Amino acid sequence: MGGFLYLSSTEKQPQEKVAYRVLGKTGIRMPVITMGVMNTDNPNLVRAALNAGMFHLDTAQTYQRGTNEAMIGEVLKGRPRDSFAISTKARLPNDRNTGLYLAEATEEAYTKKIDTSLKNLGLDYIDIYHHHNVWRRESAFYEPIMKALEKAKKAGKIRFIGITTHRNEPEVIRAAIDSKVYDVVLTAYNFRQQHGPEVKKAIAQAAEAGLGVVAMKTIGGNIRGSYASETIDARAALKWALQDPNVHTIIAGFTTFDQMNLDLAVMKDFALTQSEKNHLRRAKLFSGLYCQGCGQCLGQCLKQLPIPDLMRAYMYVYGYRNLVEAQDLLFSLNLPSEFCGDCSSCPVKCLNRWNVSARIQDVVHLREVPSNFIA
């Protein structure tokens, strides 16, 4: 079992075997924890995860400035094609405040994204291709992207079609079910979500409809570290998500071998201990770095800033320690030349009671750092 589980004599002894669940109608049998590769550029860690049986790797075309897919492709060279499954994802230009697509978001552009991912990964087909970062029902049904995905599936470039959502998740999950096009949903799901019961209900409906359900952001905005006085027990947070049988796998974003070993241990025994339950109950009282994605701030800001995206950049910096993703996100936001500093007061009321203006003014400094310094 390794040295990562502390069990008192009264606690249940761990199972010896890794738990597997089937990813809905895709029929893919996966360990309950697999690897989210977003935060690492270390091929040895990815190799070790596959060698340890993690089986499924989740990436995106933009991760690590577009190099993450190619790094994974190198690791996969020479491995039997049925010994791993790959998920990747892409999106097209959209309005950050409405979540709706812009005119340049065409079927052709999305087909190019799929072809680029295939080339980067060096694969003949991708197991799951996700329509990335959707938070509106209308966007889930956006025809040019759906058509590109359906044609790619028919052509054998991808096996299954997925959709990812970090915000307004229940609406997007229900849209995915209604569409009859998506096979898999990848959703934020954690102990900290104030709308957690709604997400749980939507996940149950997705599983009932035969969709595969993959969970992300299960640690609630932190990457196994501490933020100010708050420390999240990753083991407890992962176990919490696995109590839901409709979560087929979690993509865990570990960046060290110790963290990977902790996840491997959780895959063998995810019964929550009383002390872990108490820890999560306490941790839920702090908003930490996790933006609830409620959208209540949108429309309040005098400069119409895309505040949830800015809070995500802030989380990437202080939670994930992933400055590359944070800087890329900031550059993609087309922020006005003046904001926050020239507002006499800030009318934004955040559900988390964050001083969003202070967080924005802090994180935007990252735009001034030359990209090659943080690559």
Contact residues for ligand SF4 (CB under 6 A)? 291-297, 301-303, 305, 307-308, 311, 339-340, 343, 346-348, 350-352, 354, 356-357, 360
Q: Which is nearer to ligand SF4, 36 or 308 (CB)?
A: 308
Give the C-alpha separation, 132 to 134, whole Å.
Answer: 6
Rg over CA atoms, the chain: 20
CB-CB contact of 127 with 87 (8 Å): yes
What pairing do the DSSP bridges indicate for beta strands 158-165 and 126-131? parallel
Query: Shortest approach of ligand SF4 to residue 280 CB, angstroms?
Result: 19
Query: Shortest approach of ligand SF4 to residue 294 CB, angstroms?
Result: 4
**Token output for 14:** 């761990």
Q: DSSP character for 300?
A: T
Query: Shortest approach of ligand SF4 to residue 140 CB, angstroms?
Result: 19
Residue 228: closest CA among 168, 283, 177, 148: 283
Q: Which is nearer to ligand SF4, 139 or 273 (CB)?
A: 139
Name residues whose C-beta falls within 8 Å of residue 190's C-beta, 6 or more positions apart in sequence.
Answer: 196, 215, 217, 218, 219, 220, 237, 240, 241, 290
CB-CB contact of 19 with 268 (8 Å): yes
Q: DSSP character for 218?
A: T
Q: Which is nearer to ligand SF4, 223 or 291 (CB)?
A: 291
Q: Which is nearer to ligand SF4, 163 or 301 (CB)?
A: 301
Query: Shortest approach of ligand SF4 to residue 230 CB, angstroms?
Result: 16
Q: Which is nearer to ligand SF4, 264 or 356 (CB)?
A: 356
What pairing do the DSSP bridges indicate for beta strands 226-227 and 184-188? unpaired
Query: Shortest approach of ligand SF4 to residue 171 CB, angstroms?
Result: 14
Q: Which is nearer to ligand SF4, 52 or 302 (CB)?
A: 302
Query: Shortest approach of ligand SF4 to residue 206 CB, angstroms?
Result: 23
**Token output for 39:** 């935060």
Q: Which is nearer to ligand SF4, 162 or 306 (CB)?
A: 306
Query: Shortest approach of ligand SF4 to residue 136 CB, angstroms?
Result: 14
Give the C-alpha separation, 331 to 370, whole Å.
Answer: 12
